[in-house]
Amino acid sequence: MSRRIDRVNELLRNEISRLLALQIKDPRLRGVISITRVSTSNDLRGAQVFMSVMGDQTTKQAALDGIRSAATFLRRELRQRLTLRYTPFLTFSLDKSYEEAEHILGIMDRIREDQPSCDPDEPEDTYVGPLPFPRSGD
């Protein structure tokens, strides 16, 4: 991705977050909502906005419906606030990376619990845990 697209993505993410916090009065958007990332197309005419919503599945879907209904308003406000040749059309979707990361961390915790504990009095050749980092000078 080019540096310009990266800057536009970050600018859009910041402005959409600011608009959600200050301008949108939809009751469906009252939960904890964060814009995690924006992915703009190469021609800067379309942008995929990923958002994270705290709560259960119905809360997440209601927030997604609410922000989708406000997409035209958001685009109009972005057009006034930003100096871009084209204001991208916004499409919204839920970012599931946090849930996936939480799932992976849960698996790692279960694996860690299944391993035998490290006893410093055991002989070194029976130790089953992870290898220690080498110290400088060894």
Per-residue pLDDT band for 118 (boundaries 50, 70, 90) equals: low
Instruction: Provide the pLDDT for residue 11.
Output: 93
pLDDT in tens, 17-58: 999 888 888 788 777 888 999 999 999 899 999 999 888 888
Instruction: Provide the pLDDT for residue 1.
Output: 65
CA distance 57 to 79: 32
CA distance 117 to 73: 57
Per-residue pLDDT band for 135 (boundaries 50, 70, 90) equals: low
pLDDT in tens, 68-115: 998 999 999 999 998 888 899 999 999 888 778 888 998 888 888 887
Residue 122 has pLDDT above 60, yes or no: no
CA distance 88 to 79: 9
- Cβ 78 vs Cβ 16: under 8 Å: yes
Overall pTM > 0.75: no
Q: Using the structure block, give the residue that is written with the tokens 């029976």.
A: 126
Helix (H/G/I), strand (E/B), else coil: 50: strand
Helix (H/G/I), strand (E/B), else coil: 82: coil
* Per-domain residue ranges of the chain: 3-100
Instruction: Provide the pLDDT for residue 136.
Output: 61
**Could you say which architecture CATH assigns to the domain 3-100?**
2-Layer Sandwich (3.30)
pLDDT in tens, 46-56: 999 999 988 88
